[in-house]
Amino acid sequence: MSGSALGMSMVMMRGKLITVLFGVSLFLDATASSVSNAAQQPQGPTFKSSVDLVRVGAIVRDRKGHFVTDLGVRDFTLFDDGVARPIADFRHDQAGVSVALLFDVSGSMEARMANAREAASHVLAWLDAADEAAVFTFDTHLDEVKPFTAGLQELPSKLSSVKPFGATSLNDAIAATAKRTTSPDGRRRAVIVFTDGNDNASRLRPSEVSAVARDIDVPIYIIAIVPAIDNPSADVSTASRDQKALVGALDDLADLTGGHVFLASTPGERSGAAKQIVDELRHQYLIAFESGNAPGWHPLTLKTRDKNLVVRARSGYFAGQSRPVSQ
């Protein structure tokens, strides 16, 4: 090859190399620009964190007290502080149940512990193998006897040797137990309290306890172990229902959280209360909506479009960091 031809070939090669390098440079610049724009612009739909969702468990019955289990999301209306809010999530599947069994072991329960254990045994009998339960006791302090365990069929033997003694911090114990009742896998949660209703040592008032439980959507069920003479539904009772402290402030506490108080004086009443509680947990509708922006207490009203149906759910929630109680 002549010198002139060789020189021409080298010039052409340098030209092609420059062209390639220029193209690579343009590609890298375009890629960097694309990445920068992608970082500044949302990629498709975005969703708020689940912490911005308020979840509510609701039980629906007809006028005869039967569960209504065939409703859809369009059958409900929800009002947050009087303002209608759209429902973001709605479920009515048969998720498992998670219950905290809370025993009053203060001195006033000395003659009633056997009946309390019987009532709790009925609750465990109605649970399925996939359900879970935990056992707590309290007088002025809360103790965990058994952590949350799936398939718990029998009460821990320790409960048979408990000797009730001391004062009662009923309200404090309920609030502390409700906070321990967590269910990340979507189980229906509840605290079931076995007590005679006396409280002489709590820091918290029932209204404060109900605020704690409502805020985390844990219904409080109370099976009151009382003698027939103190049970207004019994023939031998000497008191009317509105005279009993147990069904005053504590009744309000249970109702405001979506739970209920059962006055149980006989084996049949204790068995019936246990069955009703587990049935209610299995027949809940799970409803979620976006939390309001204003911090503080938000009253909730959940209704069905059918005016003949009765809905029971918690009465409100706290938004932001405004909490009446911190422990």
Span 187-217, pLDDT tens digits: 899 999 999 988 889 999 988 998 889 888 9
CB atoms within 10 A of CB 247: 18
Q: CB under 8 Å to 265, separation ≥6 — which residues?
A: 226, 227, 228, 230, 231, 234
Greater confidence, 186 or 120? 120
170-180 and 206-215 helices cross at what angle (nearest 10)? 10
- Calculate mean pLDDT across residues 45-49: 38
- Calculate mean pLDDT across residues 255-263: 92
**How much is the pTM?**
0.79
The average confidence (pLDDT) of the chain is 82
CA angle centred on 264, ends 191 and 196, rounded to 5°: 65
- Calculate mean pLDDT across residues 47-70: 82
Does residue 70 register a pLDDT over 90? yes
pLDDT band for position 184 (50/70/90)? low
- Calculate mean pLDDT across residues 242-263: 79
- Cα torsion angle, 308, 310, 311, 315, sign: positive
What pLDDT is attached to residue 36? 41
Of 278, 100, 97, which Cα lies nearest the Cα of 181?
Answer: 100
What pLDDT is attached to residue 37? 43
Does residue 35 register a pLDDT over 70? no
Specify the residue for token string 């409700």: 178
Does residue 327 register a pLDDT over 60? no
- Cα torsion angle, 314, 320, 323, 326, sign: positive
pLDDT band for position 129 (50/70/90)? very high
pLDDT band for position 1 (50/70/90)? low
User: How far is CA 24 from its chain centroid?
Assistant: 57
What pLDDT is attached to residue 140? 94
End-to-end CA distance of the chain: 92
Q: What span, in angstroms and rounded, lies between the C-alpha atoms of 137 and 173?
A: 9
- Calculate mean pLDDT across residues 102-127: 96
Does residue 114 register a pLDDT over 80? yes
Q: Do the Cβ atoms of 241 and 207 come closer than 8 Å?
A: no
Which range among 81-90, 229-238, 247-256 shows the weakest confidence by mean pLDDT?
A: 229-238
CB atoms within 10 A of CB 215: 21
Which range among 228-237, 255-264, 306-315 shows the weakest confidence by mean pLDDT?
A: 228-237
- Cα torsion angle, 96, 312, 73, 216, sign: negative
Q: Residue 56 pairs with which residues in a beta bridge? A: 287
What pLDDT is attached to residue 45? 33
Does residue 34 register a pLDDT over 50? no
- Calculate mean pLDDT across residues 230-255: 63
Does residue 46 register a pLDDT over 80? no
CATH architecture of the domain with residue range 97-282: 3-Layer(aba) Sandwich (3.40)
What pLDDT is attached to residue 250? 86
- β-pair type (310-312, 188-195): unpaired
Does residue 3 register a pLDDT over 70? no
